[in-house]
Amino acid sequence: MLHHPNARTCWPKVRLDQAEMQTVFVIETDLALLPDDPAYDHEAFSTFVEAIRAYLADHPSYDRAEVIPIRGWGKSSPNGHAPLAARHARRSRAGA
């Protein structure tokens, strides 16, 4: 497990095609990943990337890392709906 405040969950996955196989370390994060996102924090993301690279250097069984956003994280989703966590919270309150 990558120990970093913005690494929420991690797991291995294998990618393969007819010629090669790679072991990928997948990391879910609460950070905005793209500079055009209003929540993007260049310094925080750069520090996160450095931590991931150090982790890969210490764990040579991984060929690469893949960083993905936490599902439902943030204020709104690209389709304009509330994030999954917010929709679930509303449903929970409505049923209470």
Give the tens place of pLDDT for each residue, 10-40.
999 999 999 999 999 999 999 999 999 999 9
Q: Quick one: which of 54, 30, 52 has its CA closest to 41?
A: 30
| Torsion angles phi and psi, residue 71, rounded to 5 | -65, 130
Residues 82, 72 contacting (CB under 8 angstroms): no
pTM over 0.75: no
In a domain, residue 39? The reply is: yes
Please state the domain count of the chain. Answer: 1
In a domain, residue 1? The reply is: no
**pLDDT tens-digit map of 43-57:** 999 999 999 999 999
Our measurement of the distance from residue 32's CA atom to the centroid of its chain's CA atoms, rounded to an integer in Å, reads 9
Out of 33-37, 65-69, 89-93, pick the least confident.
Answer: 89-93
In terms of residue numbers, what domain contains 64? 7-95
Rounded Cα gap, residues 78 and 37, in angstroms: 11
- Residue 78 amino acid letter: P
